[in-house]
Amino acid sequence: MTHPTDGRASSEGRPWSPIFVDGEFRSAHGPQLIPVMEAASGTVMAEVADADSQDVDSAVRSAARALACWAATPPAQRADHLERLQKAMEDRSEDFARTISQEVGTPIRQSRAVQVGNPITITGHIAQTLRTYPFEEHIDSCLVLKEPVGVVAAITPWNYPLQQVVAKVAAALAAGSTVVLKASEVAPLTALMLAELAAETGLPPGVLNVLVGRGPTTGEALVRHPAVDKVSFTGSTRAGRRISELAADTVKPVTLELGGKSASLVLEDANVAMAAKFVVYNAFLNSGQTCTALTRLLVPARLAAEAVEVAVATAAKLPLGDPLDEATRLGPLASQAQQERVRGYIESGLSEGARLVVGGADPPDGRDLGYYVKATIFDQVRSNMTIAQEEIFGPVLSIIAYDSEEEAVAIANGTAYGLAAAVWSADQDRALAFARRLRAGTVEINGGAFSTSAPFGGVKQSGHGREFGRYGIEEFLVPKSLQL
């Protein structure tokens, strides 16, 4: 089978991709095509079919037909399918990485290590977990079964287009559910590549179906569909609210992984230079287009000047450039809309009185094409400023000074979000005590490594539900009690 964008052309001669339904690529019912823009140049790199409500219905019906057989497939066989898919992703890893760098703007080295490396690892972890997962247990006189939730609508974002797809799809398939995936129209090509691999590795028709379309049309039709049993969504808090409203009409359960405004809390006894370096690298990973990005650096007032100095020096070591250049550490943003949004937040920071210490809203020198934004750092940021409260999703870091530890905890918890956080201290027990006080789904201690087996998700307006490992599988299972 050819790559879904090979050998086919739109009326303008650009490569295009159809939809993937019932185990094959087919022409969409809707006649519209969506251009996929290359982040570094702002030019069209491909076009994809804009799925309409009839395409959604076709995909959901396909998943519903495949459900009974897939749910009855022994877990070990489902694990075999996932491991074959994992191996196929490994074999195509460079293709995936380069495509993501072009679509999203992620520097190629980050694409290989994170954008593609993580999904491969996630798939392997889920397959391994599936082989030993207890789908039955005895409680008193009852036999409790954990059964597939049914047909899953998976709606994924553009910033980590393969990882967020795999986190949902692999877990749902492991649970015995079938999936209709709506990939983001901004970065859809890797989802279609994954569909191709699913067919090549023998995943039964209908178990995974892949559409591309816009949220208000394709996404809403999918959430509203009466044969969809569960919705799993990653994206903005605004869109998550809308999905919850629509799903309520048919009482569908919903998993939401939404926005974040994560704080990195540096305590008095911490190595502030080490913390500041780490936070800059974290906040500017994928040009800040990361929901868990530590975009607020909270430091004791007497250490603020040192933190600013180290942060500025660290940002200077992140060369901005073409994401396919091995030397690049800061690529473009994924779209013009995102570029304009981030520049607007930078201007907001200036108008509200924050001090710009590096970067700014002006275009980077020599980058007239593409969606570039300079690495930007503010200090003298007050916790009630817009740039300290709202998710920017770009390379913008706010440094906030505090006078007491109670104030630091209040600032860290003082947003609508609760996805991630970090604590730095020379005393690990002290750091753990502070971590327990933070309202966040994930807290890094002294730069602790992110795990794709541990539960991932948020609290407050960062959403509910968890992904990764057995926690992700359980989002797509429903317990049934047999009274014996």
Q: From CA 32, how far away is CA 425, in angstroms rounded? A: 54
Of the pLDDT bands very low, low, confident and very high (cuts 50, 70, 90), residue 14 is low
Give the global pTM: 0.95
Band (pLDDT 50/70/90 cuts) for residue 9 is very low
Which amino acid, one-letter code, is at 469? G
* Per-residue model confidence (pLDDT) at position 62: 98
**pLDDT the model gives residue 30:** 80
* 49 in Cβ contact with 212 (< 8 Å): yes
Percent of the chain with pLDDT over 90: 95
User: What's 263-451's CATH class?
Assistant: alpha beta
Count of H helices and E strands in the chain?
A: 16, 21
Read off φ and ψ for residue 172, nearest 5 degrees: -65, -45
What is the distance between the alpha carbons of residues 447 and 281, in angstroms, rounded to a whole number?
Answer: 11
Q: How confident is the model at residue 3 (pLDDT cuts 50, 70, 90)?
A: very low
Instruction: Specify the pLDDT at position 4.
Output: 55
User: Cβ-count burial of 308 within 10 angstroms (0-12 exposed, 13-18 middle, 19+ buried)?
Assistant: buried
* Domain 16-258+462-483 matches domain 263-451 at the CATH topology level: no
CA distances from 392 to 160, 284, 343, 386 (A): 16, 12, 9, 9
Determine the pLDDT at residue 13.
52
DSSP labels, 344-390: HHHHHHHHTTPEEEE--SSPPTT--SS-----EEEES--TTSHHHHS
pLDDT tens digits, 317-337: 999 999 999 999 999 999 999
Q: Can you state the angle between helices 304-315 and 272-284, rounded to 10 degrees? A: 40
Check whether 350 has a pLDDT greater than 60: yes
SS3 for 71-89 is HHCCHHHHHHHHHHHHHHH
Report the distance separating Cα 110 and Cα 29, nearest Å: 37
* CATH code of the domain occupying 16-258+462-483: 3.40.605.10
Is the per-residue pLDDT at 21 higher than 90? yes
Question: Is pLDDT above 90 for 182?
Answer: yes
Residue extents of the structural domains in the chain: 16-258+462-483, 263-451
pLDDT digits (tens, 9 = 90+) for 375-403: 999 999 999 999 999 999 999 999 999 99
pLDDT tens digits for range 214-236 = 999 999 999 999 999 999 999 99
pLDDT tens-digit map of 130-163 = 999 999 999 999 999 999 999 999 999 999 999 9
Number of C-beta neighbours around residue 125 at 10 A = 22
Residues 6+ apart with CB under 8 A from 53: 217, 221
* Average pLDDT of the residues in 166-183: 98
Mean pLDDT of the chain: 96
Quickly state the pLDDT bin for 16 (edges 50, 70, 90). Answer: low
Q: How confident is the model at residue 17 (pLDDT cuts 50, 70, 90)?
A: confident
The predicted-structure confidence for 58-104, as pLDDT tens digits, reads as follows 999 999 999 999 999 999 999 999 999 999 999 999 999 999 999 99
pLDDT tens track for 102-125: 999 999 999 999 999 999 999 999
Q: What band does 206 get if pLDDT is binned at 50, 70 and 90? A: very high
- Residues known to be catalytic: 257, 291
